[in-house]
Amino acid sequence: MNTIERFSMVRISEEGENDTEDIIASEFSLTIILNNQELATLLCSPANLKYLAIGFVRGKKMNIYTNRWRVVAQKHE
């Protein structure tokens, strides 16, 4: 997944307005589902989503090896 996007924008400074193009970090919503129950939805960059989900679940002291879990990611609009 692409972690950055390029956008056209108007940059405003003390010198005035300037049409320009810049890069902005992409944002995805990540829903973590454990035992067919939604555990959490996070907004995050679209890199390493599986590791983010594992860290989140382990941080809650839940065992990812004995539970059925899945990760659903979609671009945040």
Contact yes or no for 34/62 (Cβ under 8 A): yes
C-alpha distances (whole Å) from 51 to each of 36, 46, 56, 73 are 19, 11, 8, 13
The pTM (predicted TM-score) of the whole model is 0.58
- Predicted pLDDT at 3: 77
Contact yes or no for 20/9 (Cβ under 8 A): yes
Task: Give the pLDDT band of residue 22 (cuts 50, 70, 90).
Answer: very high
pLDDT tens-digit series, residues 44-77? 887 888 888 888 887 877 766 655 666 665 555 5
- Predicted pLDDT at 17: 95
